[in-house]
Amino acid sequence: MEAPKYVWEGAIPLQIHLHESQVTTLPPPPPALILAPRIGYLPLLAPLIKPYFSSTLPPGVDTIWFDYNGLPLRWYIPTGVLFDLLCPEPERPWKITVHFRGYPGNVLIPCEGEDSVKWSFINSLKEVDVLEIDGTDVLEIDSTAFMGNSLLLMAAYIMNGNCKNVMNMSQSDQLELWHSVMNGNLEAYQRVSSKLKLATVDDEYASLCLQKSQQSVIETDLPEQAKTGRVPVRLYVLSVSKDFDDLDEIPRVDSWEKISYINRPVEIRKEDKCFTLHDALKILLPELFLDESLMNVKLGGVDLEDAVRNSNEDVTSDKVVEDQGQNVCKQPEACRISSSAKIKLIRIQGIEPKLEIPFSWVANNLLNPDYFLHVCVCVKVAQ
């Protein structure tokens, strides 16, 4: 499968500047140029960055953190997601600033380096929230102010109805899984993650292509082996009040309060229509669909034959960027989206997908290693 390979090989070119308050030599050091994995996390770049700037740092204890245009970057959000969310008009290289002093504990949760990132990825539990599926409380699980903890546990529960296999992972398997993510080793990751026996979602598009190749007499019904499945989705919603035509007109984000976070499982149902990304967005952001319209796109799914036809043209993306469940909103003020709001931009793994794309294809090919589908959305809201 080519798409996951591209996801794992995707990288963001970074131009990292040392903050001027921490420069103790003249001339100041030039910025560090690094190719950062999309699926990785900024603190994991410390072994490359710290030696580069060490000769100019002032005395003191190092606690690395980053900012973009003065906005402290949340270390537990994957680098590729940060880029998609904060750079609607992709900036290459992405110019960010590194700090080794003055950690903003009032904005960022503590990060003790690789161990913090690792346990955030796997199973660190501190506070309890309630995951809701179809309005029913089914799981109490940690989120610690949306710090990204326990994503793997949460994903396992959403997909399988339990997280026993994740909880019972051996220490060696946990380390191998983590090292595969750190090193971008897809084969090792697939080998270890297969032991978790997480449920998969039947790919409607692949099944349809198989049907066509076999000249099946079935026209619009899904294949008999198709099954329902829940996809763990983490939605990042940037709300802007001023309309725009070009991406470079989107205002810069100067506070995380302008971004709302929604963890919500999307259930793919077996129907006579192909369940599309458009249908998934109706579940994730129902308030945008009160008038039964979104950017003049037809509701109720797309005919299966249409989906195959559209896919042959360009099902995955209008534009591929070069660098190749929890019903909870963590920013209540930002979450109050008006019914007159309009989605202006959707980005997943650097791709701006068409709404007609089968959601099963998205779920099977664009997940992050934490088994969540991270979706960045820019919404124009009424002033």
Q: Which domains does the chain have, with CATH numbers?
A: 2-111 (3.10.20.620), 116-196 (1.10.246.190), 228-380 (3.10.20.90)
Q: For residue 196, is pLDDT > 70? A: yes
Question: What is the average per-residue pLDDT within 204-222?
Answer: 50
Do 38 and 350 contact (CB within 8 A), yes or no? Answer: yes
At which residue do the structure tokens 């297969």 appear?
194
Beta strands 136-141; 129-133: pairing state: antiparallel
Q: What is the torsion angle, in degrees rounded to the nearest 10, for the CA atoms of residue 110, residue 114, residue 117 and residue 120?
A: -90
| Residue 48, C-beta contacts closer than 8 angstroms, at least 6 positions apart | 32, 34
Q: What is the pLDDT of residue 210?
A: 52
Q: For residue 223, is pLDDT > 80? A: no
Residue from 377, 379, 374 nearest 41 by CA: 374
pLDDT tens digits, 76-88: 999 999 999 999 8
pTM of the model as a whole: 0.79
Q: For residue 308, is pLDDT > 70? A: no
